[in-house]
Amino acid sequence: MQAIPNASPPARSAALVSTLAIALVTAYSPPVRSQDSGAIKGAVVYTGAVPTKKVIPKDPETCGEPHSEAQIDVGANKGVKDAIVYIEGVAKGAPMAKPAKPAVIDNKNCTFVPESQIVAPGPVEIVNSDPVLHNTHGFYGKRTAFNVALPNQGQRVTKDLPRSGLVRVECDEHGHMHATVYVADHPYHAVTGADGAFSIKDVPPGNYTLVVYQRHTGPIETPVAVKAKETTDVKVDLKR
């Protein structure tokens, strides 16, 4: 900020206030109003042969007998359930809403419930609903986000997920258990339904990367262009 030579104290104060006001207006980008926004809708499919894995559970009285388990939940019309969909490259828009209660990761019947979820940065509650030991282990990439031993049925432990990104969740006691948590700093995301469909509303106009994540296939990226008051249709096939 330039000095104002030979200015009286009132003049200098007025100039300072004016400069700060301009800086604040420049720095603040208000969220796009819904009437100016667009939307993305579509479906996630898998058109290949569904991969399976032989599971021999520990603690069969709770976890069940050996069985073959699909690695992608594919339903009618090849739709993929529980894929996480989000956009990257959002320069301005609405913030991620803070929930009234922490998100929950429940170890139930030797599966994680829910298998896929999207949460705001902050606390997450890890629960053991089973009468066996679970060790719930979350990772940001290769870095541990939390590592919680839950030996008692009904046990609840709260941990923090402080930053945005994908968190892979595993059970160190039961290798077949997997879940995905996407920690989001904006509301432009979705989890696919049983038919693979998704919808993302109130998206600011612009060019983005649409990311679809499923734990077996990994992330699939698709460029999308969103226009004001229009809906962009996208179909993503996870088969590579």
Whether residue 18 has pLDDT greater than 70: no
Residue with tokens 């460029």: 223
Give the DSSP letter of residue 133: -
Whether residue 16 has pLDDT greater than 60: no
pLDDT tens string 204-240: 999 999 999 999 999 999 999 999 999 999 999 999 7
DSSP element (H, E) containing 13:
helix 9-27
Say what the pLDDT of residue 76 is.
83
pLDDT tens string 159-173: 999 999 999 999 999
CA distances from 144 to 70, 103, 176, 181 (A): 26, 18, 19, 14
Whether residue 105 has pLDDT greater than 60: yes
Least trusted range by pLDDT, from 2-6, 114-118, 143-147, 224-228 = 2-6
Domain boundaries, the chain: 34-237
pLDDT tens string 32-56: 556 689 999 999 999 999 999 999 9
CATH homologous superfamily of 34-237 equals: Cupredoxins -  blue copper proteins (2.60.40.420)
